[in-house]
Structure 1
């Protein structure tokens, strides 16, 4: 099942306010005695748009990778090992969801696909005790000219990366 609009509230591990254009899909894992198959994204999936490249990012527990924004690239994230807290912030001037933040806890314990449209600030933090492996099926090949980066602790994005209790 794919989730956009207010349906995202039905997905476990998702907090905050909906951001227009973000889609979340609960993914399947198929275990057997040989191992596990992790489904991620197919060309005939309704949320698939284009293939540019697939890459993997490792993030150690407690490490923050962010903030970054892609001007053209659509990101399709899934985490096959470990856990991350993915945070999205909508700062698009013409967006009806401008100012909204989303937190998505995803990985081995909550296997999801998150589609992030261009112009959405995003970053993630390794959580738990294992190194996380984040897969991205990007819509275009990496181009350093189309990415903008900010320090994870900038005051331009109203977010605190520290552990929240309760």
Structure 2
């Protein structure tokens, strides 16, 4: 597993009325600080990624549909430098992935329906100076060729 990555499997509480699952709590070790909350909607057949942040930690959770989240450790000083992490999440496999800064990441919607990825980053997005650095999907420095499509960024 990529150094610094944290994964939390989510408990789903279900009854005849529906279900409930907690994503992130301020009293658990995974929580750092609140920046903002947003949802990134993915379309089947498209990839959103590669990109990384220099300061920001992300907390990813697929709350609708299913997605493949792929991580690449781009940190030269990391014990897991050059490693790939791949996680199929959503549906019956609910979890939160806490992604460290400088770890390159992207996601691909799986199946025939849109997927919704909820993120709780520890930083507020700065439109004038965004902490977001994009890398092309086919960049040869990232040893990953399993995206089912080449559509995306």
With structure 2 as the length reference, what TM-score do the two structures score?
A: 0.91
Q: Distance in 1 between matches of 2:118 and 2:47?
A: 16
Q: Distance in 2 between matches of 1:91 and 1:162?
A: 19
The answer as to 2:138 corresponding to 1:148 is no
How well do the aligned residues superpose, as a CA RMSD in angstroms? 1.2
Tell me whether 29-38 or 67-76 shows the greater mean CA deviation: 29-38
The CA deviation at 1:152 is: 1.5
Q: Distance in 2 between matches of 1:89 and 1:116?
A: 10
* Secondary structure, counterpart of 1:28 in structure 2: coil
Provide the aligned length of Structure 1 versus Structure 2. 146
Conserved in 2, the CA contact under 8 Å of 1:25 and 1:113?
A: yes
The answer as to 2:59 corresponding to 1:79 is no
* Secondary structure, counterpart of 1:53 in structure 2: coil
Residue among 35, 47, 50 paired with 1:67: 50
The Cα offsets for residues 105-131 of structure 1, whole Å up to 9 and x where unpaired, read as 100121011000111000000011211
The Cα offsets for residues 63-88 of structure 1, whole Å up to 9 and x where unpaired, read as 10000101111000111110000000
The runs of 5 or more residues in structure 2 that have no matched partner are: 149-153
Q: Distance in 1 between matches of 2:27 and 2:137?
A: 35
* Secondary structure, counterpart of 2:89 in structure 1: strand
With structure 1 as the length reference, what TM-score do the two structures score?
A: 0.84
The runs of 5 or more residues in structure 1 that have no matched partner are: 1-17
The answer as to 2:14 corresponding to 1:31 is yes
What is the correspondence of 1:14-29 to structure 2 with a 5 Å cutoff?
18-29=1-12
